[in-house]
Amino acid sequence: MFKHWPPLGTLRGFEAAARLGSFHKAAAELHLTQSAISQQIRSLEAYLEQPLFFRNGRSVSLTDAGHDLLSTTQALLQQLAVGIRRLGQYHKPNQLVLNTTPMFARHWLLPRLADFRHQHPDVDLWIFSTDEVPDMVNQTIDLAVRDDISPQAECSFKVLYADRLYPACHPSLLAIPNEQRTTLHGEREMDWSHWEVEAGIDVGQKEQGLNFSDPGLLLDAACTGLGIALVSQLLSRQALANGLLQPLVEHTIRGPNWALLTHRDSENNPLARSFSEWLSSNLGTDSRVGLEAG
């Protein structure tokens, strides 16, 4: 077993010589001397303890081992080149990294992204959606918009929207008797026990049914007619407008608070300010929900 990798330069020299069938052409492509390419190949063969080329005067051809190594080397160099090019996304001059939940990204942000892009075409927005609360200190994130965050060190914290929840289903289920409707259960505030305590209204909810850890998937399930669910007033607006949901009653109950975390290094960033102002405007924040904490 080999203890070390061969020098990367020897692999580049080998790949070029094998692909072009010539040490001379490989040297020209890599802007090296032919003797330098020859030395690289000899070093690689010494490391591998077997020949990679048949040499016949000025012409060369690959041994079986050389053919085997060529396919591996080309795949390796290609993957390395792609990986290096991909690093460019981490230092775009106008990049803004936003963390949010998959639910918020899919049901609220995505339908409005065209408007943000129209108003701020200079912002290169990177949407980083996660189920886990981000660590704003140790992760490269400018802003976070979530319903499950609290203040963190080195960040400003602002509650943007006090959500409300209500029971709803696809309109097609309204013709079905209550006892025949499937109950869709969520977690946290979207569990039916929350509705029973806060509202005390029977809309046909049952303990048995389908259970979802992802509130966005819960909303999708309700929109497709799988059953009745407690849904977010904020995130269901598009579905209501499209006729995919119908409230079961007019009553709503307290839901989660949607908050904005801004890393201190991004507070004076005009790109971050542009997004924050657009977000606040579209969420319709006012003095009743615009509570701030230092």
59 pLDDT higher than 90: no
Closest by CA to 62, choosing from 71, 53, 70, is 53
Q: Which domain holds residue 21?
A: 8-89
pLDDT for res 8: 80
Determine, yes or no, domain membership for 1.
no
Look up tokens 């904005």; give the residue.
260
CATH number at residue 22: 1.10.10.10
| 132 and 272 both lie in a single domain | yes
Look up tokens 């290609």; give the residue.
78
| 240 and 122 both lie in a single domain | yes
Mean pLDDT value across the chain? 89
- Cα Rg of the chain, angstroms: 30
Residues composing the chain? 294
| 13 and 113 both lie in a single domain | no
Domain count of the chain?
2
Q: How far apart are CA 287 and CA 291, in angstroms?
A: 7
| 60 and 97 both lie in a single domain | no
8-to-12, 25, 50, 108, 216 alpha-carbon distances in Å: 6, 19, 18, 47, 47
Region 14-43: what's the mean pLDDT?
92
| 99 and 229 both lie in a single domain | yes
Which of 89, 113, 136 is the last residue in one of the domains? 89
| 127 and 225 both lie in a single domain | yes
105 pLDDT higher than 90: yes
Which of 58, 89, 120 is the last residue in one of the domains? 89
Q: Which residues contact 270 (CB under 8 A, 6 or more apart)?
A: none
Region 150-156: what's the mean pLDDT?
91
pLDDT for res 45: 92
CATH number at residue 162: 3.40.190.290
168 pLDDT higher than 70: yes
Determine, yes or no, domain membership for 3.
no
Region 197-215: what's the mean pLDDT?
93
206 pLDDT higher than 50: yes
Q: Is the separation of the CB atoms in 51 and 61 below 8 Å?
A: no
Say which range, 56-60, 104-108, 204-208, 210-214, has the weakest mean pLDDT: 56-60
Determine, yes or no, domain membership for 189.
yes
What does the DSSP 8-state code read for residue 196? H
User: 72: which 2 tokens?
Assistant: 């591996």
| 229 and 177 both lie in a single domain | yes
176 pLDDT higher than 70: yes
Evaluated on CA atoms 239, 258, 165, 250, the torsion sign reads negative
| 62 and 152 both lie in a single domain | no
Q: How far apart are CA 116 and CA 127, in angstroms?
A: 13
Q: How far apart are CA 2 and CA 17, in angstroms?
A: 23
Which of 47, 69, 89 is the last residue in one of the domains? 89
Determine, yes or no, domain membership for 148.
yes
Per residue in 207-258, pLDDT (tens digit) is: 999 999 999 999 999 999 999 999 999 999 999 999 999 999 999 999 999 9
pLDDT for res 88: 59
pLDDT for res 82: 79
| 236 and 136 both lie in a single domain | yes
pLDDT for res 288: 38
